[in-house]
Amino acid sequence: MRDRNNPKDDILYKKKLKANITKLKEQRNAVILAHNYQRDEIQEIADFSGDSLELARAAVRTKENVIVFCGVHFMAESAAILNPGKKVLLPVKEAGCPLADMITVRKLREKKKQFPDAAVVCYVNSSAEIKAESDISCTSSNAVKVVRVIKNKRVIFVPDKNLGRYVQTQVPEKDIILWEGFCPTHIRLTEEDVIKAKNNFPKAAFIAHPECKPEVLNLADHVYSTKGMFDYAKMSKAKEFIIGTESGMLYKLRKENQGKKFHIPTTHLICANMKLTTLGWVAYSLENMVYEIKVPDRVREKARMTLERMLSAMGKTTD
């Protein structure tokens, strides 16, 4: 019987689970993809880790037939949209994204009727149905470029108001209609947290994710997506950084940048949904081949076009 309070027991338990996952992965001809916000041990066993779009595209490149997607529902959906011939599994079926749930097709249709001249740009953090209702998708790393290249002057940007507001500051020539959605994790980061962290680590550069509140972005030395944060941390001469995004980012930042220091400004930057996936659930998922994410053909085709438009607008790059 495992004693959860005994660290030795815990290490042994995780070791056994990892060995079991490796064996099951081979048996099932599966690949494990993990989002940058996942628990450390999940990123450790993943074949590939990255942001949601990097993962969806990694899924296209894999030769395995089964994709175990360690992330939240909309991410597994994007992988399923781009990989119709593969089985996409989400280990925890309750792992959703509150931001993606802050918009419905009915409400989006109403907004479209109100602004018939506007193009709808949807952040990838949205459901397949919302993607199917939109003109083009974007990630946090390419949102500015996407909005800049579309022809329409007016843009309905859904569902994250903070990302939309940030894009507006970078593309003032467009008229952006914001949606009242937000990421409950990033919204928790306050100005006070950042000021305190800056005082504690005066030499550190503060890098914020654009899902943070505008007053937090105003304090940032740089505003980057998770991918942008990795790229910047790698190439920067700075040795110390305050990271304004979900704390799971620390795992890979520290692993890939030995000798540099990374701090999270508050212990509250944890996405509960991202942390639902555990080694136990990954093993269960592979054992029982659950929970398969399927997107109905009718929705899938339209959503795929929305994602493809983004990819071609970016010349096949997510930057």
Task: List residues near ligand SF4 by CB under 6 A.
Answer: 37, 72, 97-99, 125, 183-185, 246, 271, 273-274
For ligand SF4, which is the closer residue by CB, 174 or 228? Answer: 228
Dist CA 196 CA 199 (whole Å): 5
Q: Which residue has the tokens 């894009």?
A: 167
Please report how close the Cβ of residue 161 comes to ligand SF4 at its closest, in angstroms: 12
Please report how close the Cβ of residue 198 comes to ligand SF4 at its closest, in angstroms: 23
DSSP of 156-223, one letter per residue? EEESBHHHHHHHHHH-TTSEEEEPSB--TTGGG--HHHHHHHHHHSTTPEEEE-TTS-HHHHTT-SEE
For ligand SF4, which is the closer residue by CB, 38 or 83? Answer: 38
Residue closest to 21 by CA, chosen among 277, 290, 284: 284
Planar angle of CA 66, 97, 296, nearest 5 degrees: 50
User: DSSP E strands: which ranges in 61-118?
Assistant: 66-70, 87-89
For ligand SF4, which is the closer residue by CB, 129 or 246? Answer: 246
Please report how close the Cβ of residue 146 comes to ligand SF4 at its closest, in angstroms: 18
For ligand SF4, which is the closer residue by CB, 72 or 121? Answer: 72
Please report how close the Cβ of residue 94 comes to ligand SF4 at its closest, in angstroms: 13
Please report how close the Cβ of residue 95 comes to ligand SF4 at its closest, in angstroms: 8
For ligand SF4, which is the closer residue by CB, 79 or 118? Answer: 79
For ligand SF4, which is the closer residue by CB, 24 or 217? Answer: 217
Dist CA 230 CA 236 (whole Å): 10
For ligand SF4, which is the closer residue by CB, 168 or 185? Answer: 185
The 10 Å CB-count burial string (b at 16+, else e) for 145-175 is bbbeebebeebbbbbbbbbbbbbbeebeebe
Residue closest to 177 by CA, chosen among 190, 187, 165, 188: 165
Rg value, the chain, Cα = 20
Q: Which residues touch 122 (CB under 8 Å, ≥6 apart)?
A: 130, 131, 133, 134, 136, 137, 138, 158, 159, 306
Please report how close the Cβ of residue 96 comes to ligand SF4 at its closest, in angstroms: 8
Dist CA 182 CA 201 (whole Å): 28
Please report how close the Cβ of residue 294 comes to ligand SF4 at its closest, in angstroms: 20
For ligand SF4, which is the closer residue by CB, 125 or 306? Answer: 125
Please report how close the Cβ of residue 130 comes to ligand SF4 at its closest, in angstroms: 14
